[in-house]
Amino acid sequence: MAPPSKDQVRVATDALRAEAAVWDRQSSAMGKIVSQANGLRLERVEAGIFQVIFGTYSSVIDQVTARSKEGQQRMTDVANTLHEVADTYDEEEAENLHLLKNLY
């Protein structure tokens, strides 16, 4: 198999960066969910006649907020990893390391 051309490498790393951008956008969307969920919080007095479910209601908001924050962080981690892979590949390609290491 012939080694990829510079254009083929660029297309591949551009695709990785484009995918990273998707993960970044989704991370931002998860951040909005955190804000929206926090906006649903009530004080006990505001719960009025629904005092009996106030604890459960607060617990659900806590869980949605916590899971959304986790999701936001993990999506950011995926985006960062994709960027790192693309950057590393570009650096190694510029130094001809793939050819030297007999990777292709």
Q: Tell me if the pTM is above 0.95.
A: no
Dihedral of the CA atoms 34, 32, 74, 14 (nearest 10)? 180
Dihedral of the CA atoms 77, 82, 83, 84 (nearest 10)? 90
What H or E segment, with its residue span, contains residue 42? none
CA 24/CA 18 separation, integer angstroms: 10
How does residue 103 score in pLDDT terms, banded at 50, 70 and 90?
A: low
Q: Provide the token pair at 15.
A: 């695709």
CB 25 within 8 A of CB 79: no
User: 37-88, pLDDT tens digit by residue?
Assistant: 999 999 888 888 888 999 999 999 999 999 999 999 999 999 999 999 999 9
